Structure 1
């Protein structure tokens, strides 16, 4: 697995999923948005971290009833204990929201272990308390029923699908109020640097539009506008 420099994560936190997804689009990566997931509560900035994965398959009554051993919930708990600090736990629930994949106690455990966030294309229970936690949690919907009737935790630390997107362990997960995207780890450094540069230019362009500049020649910027921006950057430096 390629090393991920802390600087790359810091740069990504200065940008947005909108900007980064645009940079990925330019490289031909169009299926990067984990569909239909939203943050529980207010998002505190940008969630960024390498992915650790947990996969659920459909539950079956002869295997997943209470009291039957081995208990698939042990694999679920293993995943929460195995997620490295600074990582985002991403769960494949097959976009199934009839039952929760986790609740407040498991999320608390991940939080105190230094996890960077939780993403699932399924449901989460105890959503009210979790929304106030100091860890970002993105899910498809609140869902009070226990996981056992719908989900069987199969394995963790392997490639999964989440919200229609392939997620490989170590991919960079980025989430904000717009949603959650997946950045291939090998591209993360270049994408982060490009995204910061784009954000800086677009901030300058937005100020010009707010001051009355027309869209034509400003957004997208003409060669003359780009030259003016570069001059402004040099003067600021």
Structure 2
């Protein structure tokens, strides 16, 4: 029994060491997709939601990490905030203003993210000691949204029998990252606001991997894709 406990402890410590680098992998994962958007000078059928939710999510967890004194949380998310600004900026450079399947419109994403960041920044000053709890609860929602965001194209994936709108690097990184943070959040930090959203994220990421395995890039031609996009 003691040997089993020691093995579990070593596993948790290892997960704790690997969790920050795994978060970095998630933060860097959108780079191939963004490079493709820049090269093609088009957002194609990619949703904006992964980048807008990453922007809001990373800012929120930077604030939360600072409030609870968890360097592992605020250090990685502060870098994520900087990079997600870059991702968002590059996406909007090539995103037509009339698109409504991002989901929503570009202006709605800009207004929503800006409002969220301002409110999050004000919470510590307005609520004092209650701020970590409030931000943590908001973090559960936003973090779940971030991991769910690639599935915002679920309807089009099934209709077109093509999962290329689900970014594979981001999905694989999310699987590994969420597994590690679920273990660390539950067994090391004992922080519901860490392990619960990451457990949800692991579930969503596995669904996305399943869709990629089932459909791959699919038989979809550019002509059919254009036809579908015109319908939405």
Normalised by the length of structure 1, the TM-score is 0.26
Structure ranking higher in helix proportion = 2
Structure ranking higher in strand proportion = 1
Structure having greater relative contact order (Cα 8 Å, sep ≥ 6): 1
